[in-house]
A and B are shown apart, each in its own frame.
Chain A
Amino acid sequence: MGLLSKKDAKLITDPLADNNPITIQVLGICSALAITAELKASIVMSIAVLFVLGVGNVVISLMRNIIPSKIRIIVQLIVVATLVIIVDLILKAFAYELSKTLSVFVGLIITNCIIMGRFEAFALANGPWRSFLDGIGNSLGYAVILIIVGFFRELLGSGSLLGIKVLGDPIEKTGVYAFGYENNGFMLLAPMALITVGIIIWVQRSRNEALIEDN
């Protein structure tokens, strides 16, 4: 593997499939439902979480031996909130247009349970390098699901991808709309996001039965 030992590489690859934060750990569901109506929003959110989770995991991991266990959740929250606000302020000053695009995601990142979940489950017990890899792995796993859901919701709900009308124009009745196809507006609402995530979970577990919990 060269750069990464086998154990370290697993930190990245596991969350992509058999230990996916959304479909297996069931973390970060709220944002997966809220912002996947468009592919672009899914991608922006994924990048933002990648950054915050990568850096946040390292910070928490470095502090893990001095954090009093009684208030560790509050400390984790402060670290996330501080990181996000610092980034937001700097963007507002030096990349104003980018900050306008990202500002709506700020609240969603701070309250994203995937971040608190990984701090609590991994960074508090592991060194900074492994925590960093865990953060990257989990946010990539999160990104994969967000992008799949965003792809189907935007395609079936609005007939477009990244804002480009790939199925023709629904008002002028060109492309597939000429044959009577209609956009399914229900795809744009949160319930269909939940159903889409449910279908992904179903497909994943029927392909790998080891993932099915016994009751």
Chain B
Amino acid sequence: MATNTDKNLYTVLFATGMVIIVGALLAFLASSLKEKIAENKRIEKQQNILYAMGINENDESSVEFVSKDIVGPEFKKYITKQLVITGTDAVEDNNAYLIDLKKEEAASKAEKRPRKLPLFIGNKDNTEFYIIPVLGKGLWDAIWGYVALDSDLVVQGVYFDHKGETPGLGSNIKERFFMDDFKGEHIIDGDSFKGITAAKGNADPKNMDKEDFEVDAIAGATITGDGLSAMLKKDLKMYMPYLKTLKQ
């Protein structure tokens, strides 16, 4: 046994066999679980959108979504309209939440057309929420989230998530202590768009000043924070032409 494993032919055959077996196994698993995973992602998206507008099961410090069993009906109940926005035009589209931001960005660039932007309009206790999905880059990989604004364009809630930020540092963007800071922040100063910056050395750690366009950054997560600020600036700005029409 021991000698023939050194032959070149054996090595090549072994490598080929291993690739075929492993490839087949992974392909089989991935395709048989594909639907289940897609369903989980769809549920998660609905939970995230509802979370941003304040519909969640949070207790004092944890992040708890509405349960998966009721998220479908809850989503229908609270999200009254889903719009697809191009420039200042808005078209109602009940599948707007299925738009893949990354693919849409690439497609609109390739076809040289304005981007189709999904916007969710929620209604809770007779208050309207405008929920905007955002997508950007952290330190290692993608970060994304949902920002809920009221009709004065003041932030009412956010949800952030990430694919692979450093555990304990950048990954803290999805923790309550960070996300809760955004509540009440303004994104425009009079007529000019400012966005929100995760700022270091900000003299306002309790975040009392809601009109400084800043929240306190996370120590040890500078690049993630910068990516998050850039994401908010870039993506919220695209909606401004439409959102300004609402204010008048």
Interface residues of A (CB under 8 A from B): 34-38, 40-41, 44-45, 65-71, 74-75, 78, 82, 85-86, 89-90, 92-94, 96, 100, 103-105, 107, 154, 157, 163, 171, 185, 188-189
- B residues less than 8 Å from A154 (CB atoms): 168
CB-defined interface of B204-248 with A at 8 Å, one 1/0 digit per residue?
Answer: 011000000000000110000000000000000000000000000
Please determine whether A78 and B18 come into contact, CB atoms closer than 8 angstroms: yes
Q: In this assembly, does B1 line the interface, its C-beta being within 8 Å of a C-beta of chain A?
A: yes
Segment 1-36 of B: residues with Cβ below 8 Å from A: 1-2, 5-6, 10-11, 14-15, 18, 22, 25-26, 29-30, 33, 36
Contact of B220 among A45, A85, A100, A189 (CB under 8 A): A189
- B residues less than 8 Å from A100 (CB atoms): 161
- A residues less than 8 Å from B26 (CB atoms): 82, 85-86
Return the 3 tightest CB-CB contacts between A and B, nearest first.
A37-B168, A38-B168, A41-B167
Q: In this assembly, does B171 line the interface, its C-beta being within 8 Å of a C-beta of chain A?
A: yes
- B residues less than 8 Å from A189 (CB atoms): 220
Q: In this assembly, does B164 line the interface, its C-beta being within 8 Å of a C-beta of chain A?
A: yes
The complex places the Cα of A34 from the Cα of B171 at a distance, in Å, of 12
Extra A-B contacts (16), CB below 8 Å, given A37-B169, A40-B168, A92-B37: A34-B166, A35-B166, A41-B167, A45-B167, A66-B1, A66-B5, A71-B11, A71-B15, A86-B29, A90-B29, A93-B37, A93-B40, A104-B165, A104-B171, A154-B168, A171-B206
Chain A residue at minimum C-beta to C-beta distance from B30:
A89
Chain A residue at minimum C-beta to C-beta distance from B220:
A188
Chain A residue at minimum C-beta to C-beta distance from B43:
A96
The complex places the Cα of A120 from the Cα of B2 at a distance, in Å, of 17
The complex places the Cα of A45 from the Cα of B167 at a distance, in Å, of 10
Q: In this assembly, does B95 line the interface, its C-beta being within 8 Å of a C-beta of chain A?
A: no
Contact of B18 among A41, A75, A157, A188 (CB under 8 A): A75
Contact of A171 among B22, B164, B168, B205 (CB under 8 A): B205
Chain A residue at minimum C-beta to C-beta distance from B32:
A93
Please determine whether B11 and A68 come into contact, CB atoms closer than 8 angstroms: yes
Contact of A69 among B5, B22, B164 (CB under 8 A): B5
- B residues less than 8 Å from A92 (CB atoms): 33, 37, 40
Please determine whether B167 and A104 come into contact, CB atoms closer than 8 angstroms: yes
Least CB distance from A191 to B in Å reads 11
Chain B residue at minimum C-beta to C-beta distance from A104:
B164
Known pairs A92-B40, A105-B167, A188-B169; A68 contacts B61 (CB<8 A): no
Least CB distance from B44 to A in Å reads 7
The complex places the Cα of A166 from the Cα of B220 at a distance, in Å, of 21
Chain B residue at minimum C-beta to C-beta distance from A96:
B40
The DSSP consensus for interface residues of chain A is helix
Please determine whether A67 and B164 come into contact, CB atoms closer than 8 angstroms: no
Please determine whether B6 and A70 come into contact, CB atoms closer than 8 angstroms: yes
Segment 187-203 of B: residues with Cβ below 8 Å from A: none
Contact of B61 among A35, A65, A163 (CB under 8 A): A163
Least CB distance from A143 to B in Å reads 15
The complex places the Cα of A48 from the Cα of B10 at a distance, in Å, of 34
Contact of A67 among B5, B22, B166 (CB under 8 A): B5
Please determine whether A103 and B164 come into contact, CB atoms closer than 8 angstroms: yes
Least CB distance from B64 to A in Å reads 10
- B residues less than 8 Å from A82 (CB atoms): 22, 25-26
Please determine whether A67 and B14 come into contact, CB atoms closer than 8 angstroms: yes
Least CB distance from A198 to B in Å reads 19
The complex places the Cα of A189 from the Cα of B37 at a distance, in Å, of 35
The complex places the Cα of A94 from the Cα of B122 at a distance, in Å, of 30
The complex places the Cα of A86 from the Cα of B6 at a distance, in Å, of 30
Least CB distance from B11 to A in Å reads 4
CB-defined interface of B169-191 with A at 8 Å, one 1/0 digit per residue?
Answer: 10100000000000000000000
Chain A residue at minimum C-beta to C-beta distance from B29:
A89
- A residues less than 8 Å from B18 (CB atoms): 75, 78
